[in-house]
Amino acid sequence: MLIQKPAYESTKLYRIRHSLAHLLARAVMDMRPGTKLGFGPPIEDGFYYDFILPQPITEADFTELEKRMRKMIREAHAYVREDLPEADALKRIDDMGEPYKKEYAKELIAKQNLKTLSFYRTGRFLDMCEGPHVENSNEIPQDAFKIRSVSGAYWRGDAKNQQMTRIYAWAFESKEDLDKHLKEYELAQTRDHRKLGQELDLFVIDDEVGKGLPLWMPNGTVIRDELQKLMNELEFKAGYHRVATPHLAKTSLYYKTGHLPYYAPHMYPFMELRETVEEGSEQPSVTKEMYALKPMNCPHHHKIFAARPRSYRDLPLRLAEYGQVYRFEESGALSGILRVRGMCMNDAHVYCTADQVKSEFRAVMDMHREVYKILGISNYWMRLSTWDPEDPKGKEKFVNNPAAWAHSQKMVMEAMDEAGLDYYEGLGEAAFYGPKIDIQFRTVTGREETASTCQLDFAMPERLDLAYKGADNGLHRPYIIHRAPLGTHERFVAFLIEHYGGAFPTWLSPVQVMIVPVSDVFTEYSQKLVDELRSDYVRVELDATNDTLNKRLRNAVTRKIPNILVIGEREQANSTVTLRRYGIQEQKTMAAAEFRNWLAETIRNRS
């Protein structure tokens, strides 16, 4: 059912964070006279403010900044709003000497046809701002905020613009909440996928290959392969057909689907390819074609649907692929393998009749739930991403068909309700061709990200002339469900690394078993165990190096290997093994055959 989440902007915590951003700006301007202001919004765990600084600010300045902010809180400054007509507002911004504020003000006036602009004055600080804020600074807890970091940021998030200095801070309603968050943050740093990816040898990003283009090491490739195997099995049982499509296509295809020109900023530069066509003459003709690396798989799948005449008896048709796509993310947005430029997507498209939409959508959502249950993931939530008819850029962002939007969103909501799933609305977050359900999670650093998605497409069949013959012998447009329960390998593996803290369950672990003989005397028996386990397709290693037993055991623990077998005289004599499981102090001795059976069952059940 649709859950009405209170707007963050209406909460007390939002007002506290927004008000603190103004105090930070005043403190910075006092410490660095001549500072120019950018934006200073609240965010999920605090706030930030962007500045052009005459001299840098470093971590060494944080204590002084916090001291000045607390002094302003104690001075009990009121937050006073004033609305000015357009001309007076622009003059005031000129008097303030804030060129970036003026640029934004002129854009607001032009694009939103505003007649007035609002300002907030707090003591000696004046800012163009819509609010809301607390009424007085003495409402802000003095001990519930902390400046976190300083970094670079481009004005308006555009790399072509001036680079600014961004100061981040945490802020909460109480010291207890702040302290709790700081402890969680410290723990999160140890689980950061970039740190663990390096330590566990999962992936690398090499400058000579390119930013955002990860190289998967053998250990990381195991995780990718196991996830793909899981989805192949689930999709096979659900009646999907696997397909494979090329990494590029003619740009004309993307113009036809509507992805171009709107998606061009997120695509790699196009390639001009020459094709020679032999026509039996002495002078063969030469044509030029523009190609692009594909940013998504759906146009290719639609072409597979269109390659044969389709009947209503063929539907639903479910086409699945782990397809490689390329998207040119801005450098500042790249983050390990969470945000990349080359990614492999757990993609599929379900072509169905209008009567089949709800049942197919429910089946897809059931698959999402099954996958997340297998992976032991419960801390996620669902967002119904809808179109925003009031968005002034709506005609650029969304297919302009209000009736189709209303009908499609109604079908998705009914499917979710019938499946007993809770969700909240993300207004304006839809795909350009239809509504979608996004599965959201929070990274260890507190940022909300989309893990996977399920979209209902009413527009593409018309654009590509996709049709099937109905029972009435007439041609009808199918609906298309786009779905990706595991999103991309890159983002989902990043999420899993942090979710498990690098300690993957046995079925997913790059090395499932490490065998450690107490001394060389027991190497032969240990090797026999290795051979037997490999015959069961178990990923097993033998550590028979000259290091001490304790060091070899520590190495296995550091690598977070889930099962360590210690082999000594008793184990060799009795054909047993002594099992140490990662994170469990108690060890257990059992017959080697019993261990093999237990391990096979554990892997088979993905437990």
CATH of domain 8-178: 3.30.980.10
| pLDDT band at residue 277 under the 50/70/90 scheme | low
Q: Quickly name the fold that domain 506-605 has.
A: Rossmann fold (3.40.50)
Q: Assess whether pLDDT exceeds 80 at residue 274.
A: no
* pLDDT tens column, 537-565: 999 999 999 999 999 999 999 999 999 99
Cite the residue boundaries of each domain of the chain with CATH code 3.40.50.800. Answer: 506-605
The DSSP output letter for 7 is P
Cite the residue boundaries of each domain of the chain with CATH code 3.30.980.10. Answer: 8-178
Q: Quickly name the fold that domain 215-247+295-500 has.
A: BirA Bifunctional Protein; domain 2 (3.30.930)
Sign of CA dihedral 348, 352, 354, 358: negative
CA–CA gap between residue 303 and residue 297 (Å, rounded): 10
| pLDDT band at residue 204 under the 50/70/90 scheme | very high
* pLDDT tens column, 329-388: 888 788 899 999 999 999 999 999 999 999 999 999 999 999 999 999 888 899 998 888
| pLDDT band at residue 65 under the 50/70/90 scheme | very high
| pLDDT band at residue 288 under the 50/70/90 scheme | confident
* pLDDT tens column, 74-93: 999 999 999 999 999 999 99
| pLDDT band at residue 393 under the 50/70/90 scheme | low
Q: Which of 300, 283, 209, 207 is nearest to 247 (CA)?
A: 300
Question: Across 205-247, where does the E strand assignment appear?
Answer: 215-216, 241-242
* pLDDT tens column, 499-542: 999 999 999 999 999 999 999 999 999 999 999 999 999 999 99
CA 236 to chain centre: 26
Contacts (Cβ under 8 Å, ≥6 apart) of 77: 122, 123, 136, 137
Cite the residue boundaries of each domain of the chain with CATH code 3.30.930.10. Answer: 215-247+295-500
Q: Is the pTM of this model over 0.95?
A: no
- The pLDDT of residue 38 is 95
Structure-derived torsion over alpha carbons of residues 131, 182, 497, 150, reported in degrees to the nearest 10: 60
Instruction: Tell me the H-state helices in 11-85.
Output: 12-31, 62-74
- The pLDDT of residue 5 is 65
Strand-pair partners of 560: none
